[in-house]
Chains A and B, each alone.
Chain A
Amino acid sequence: MPVRKFRSVAELNQPIWRQPGDPALYRTMAALWDTGRRLQTRRFAPGVYRFRDIAALESAADDRPPHQG
């Protein structure tokens, strides 16, 4: 990876947008998701869960304890 230099932290943290269809976007997605999967140990209990609204769904996903499956 080449060295990239920045004049400030703010400049360093700018999001990198790519064009849909650019192979680099999908390579980055695949690498990022793979890294995330390796780093996180959380597992969800398999199955189907139903909710009355998206707020309840999001709350359940955030609060659900780790599943040792």
Chain B
Amino acid sequence: MTTGLGTAPGRAYTATVDFDALKQVLAAFEREGVRYAIFGAAALNLHGLARFTEDLDVFLEPTADNIERLRTALSSVFDDPSIADITAADLLGDYPAVQYVPPSGTFHLDVLTRLGEAFAFSDLEVVRAPFDDLTVSVVSPRTLYLMKRDTVRLKDKADAALLKERFHIEEP
């Protein structure tokens, strides 16, 4: 059954993705047993620094079963046939980065199964963290720091500096 954010007749899509929408997505992940880890700006929020973000970055355990669970979870939130285009053939093959934009068009879900040669799912330090009344899986502050430290984007370097100071992270 599709709930919440689907294509209700006559409903505008201008205000669908917000705190509650992301909670619905993550609640669906938990319900369906998706093996995932949030990283990026959403992870920074969950570690205590509120920050606007227009995407949810998720690292996914790279198995066909897990990708099927992801599709099931997303389909329980969004009434969107394009979710079927998120495939194991891509994510386990030549396209380890897939971006899903729900019908609202107001945010995107970035799904990774590997990050270059630097990170695989098994390399991540993952912690369980509160997200309002949910508990979700998020990379640890240290892993988030390492992911942001060596990127080219200035905002990531600034985030890395904040994480290092806040969590007293030592260089490896």
Q: Which A residues are closer than 8 A to B by beta carbons?
A: 15-22, 25-26, 28-30, 32-37, 40, 42-54, 56-58, 60-61, 67, 69
Contact = CB atoms under 8 A, between A and B. Distances in A.
Contact of A51 (B47, B48, B95): B95
A42 B17 CA distance: 13
| Closest 5 A/B residue pairs (Cβ) | A36-B52, A50-B95, A30-B19, A48-B85, A43-B105
B113 to A, nearest CB: 11
Interface residues of B, number: 49
Main secondary structure of the interface of A (DSSP, over half): mixed
B46 interface: yes
Nearest to B162: A15
Contacts of B51: 32
Given A15-B162, A29-B50, A48 B100 contact: yes
A34 B105 contact: no
A46 B46 contact: no
A28 B99 contact: no
B50 A58 contact: no
B86 interface: yes
Contacts of A26: 19, 131-132
A47 B85 contact: yes
Contacts of A29: 19, 45, 50
A33 B103 CA distance: 19
